């Protein structure tokens, strides 16, 4: 039995790759509030995923808050090969931004957000960078 396990391990290492379960989008769960602690039901969260190499950046994804100001983003993951070769393994990074009309957007990076997110009021029309990036991906007829 030891020889079979040893032979399997050697064959796996010689193949140059092993399977791994990669997170493509982490799970986010956040409540969005104003300075008074009231929920902001008009809030929208933009999640962008970056993969390197080769530097693939799909369009950002938008998630709307419910009437209680709660945003729940489902985790997305898949099996992929981790290749032991130059530029063979994908590394993922995430950025997020939360916006609402009449409030200053708040953004961050990584796979965790401290809840609740408190948005500050403003008189300017401010949007998340990700919202502007989506316009580049869509044709004028789909905007």
Q: What percent of the chain has pLDDT over 70?
A: 79
Helix or strand (DSSP H, E) at 133: helix 129-137
Starting at the edge strand that comes first in sequence, how are the strands of the sheet with 91-99 ordered? 61-64, 44-52, 91-99, 106-109
- Per-residue pLDDT reduced to its tens digit, 47-64: 998 887 766 678 899 999
Residue at token pair 């032991």:
84
C-alpha count within 13 angstroms, C-beta hemisphere, residue 25: 19
- Per-residue pLDDT reduced to its tens digit, 19-34: 778 888 999 999 999 9
Q: What is the mean pLDDT of the chain?
A: 83
Are the beta carbons of 46 and 97 closer than 8 angstroms?
A: yes
Contacts with 72 (C-beta within 8 Å, 6 or more apart), sequence order: 28, 29, 63
Please give the pLDDT value at position 142.
Answer: 41
């Amino acid at each position: 039995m030891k020889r079979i396990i040893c032979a399997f391990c050697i064959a796996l290492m010689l193949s140059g790759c092993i399977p791994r379960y990669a997170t493509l989008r982490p799970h986010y769960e956040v409540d969005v509030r104003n300075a008074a602690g009231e929920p902001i039901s008009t809030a929208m969260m933009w999640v962008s995923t970056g993969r390197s190499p080769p530097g693939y950046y799909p369009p950002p994804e938008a998630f709307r808050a419910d009437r209680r100001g709660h945003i729940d983003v489902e985790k997305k993951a898949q099996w992929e090969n981790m290749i032991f070769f130059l530029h063979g393994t994908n590394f993922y990074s995430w950025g997020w931004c939360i916006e609402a009309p009449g409030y200053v957007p708040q953004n961050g990076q990584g796979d965790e957000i401290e809840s609740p997110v408190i948005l500050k009021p403003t008189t300017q029309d401010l949007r998340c960078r990700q919202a502007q990036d989506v316009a580049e991906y869509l044709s004028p007829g789909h905007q």
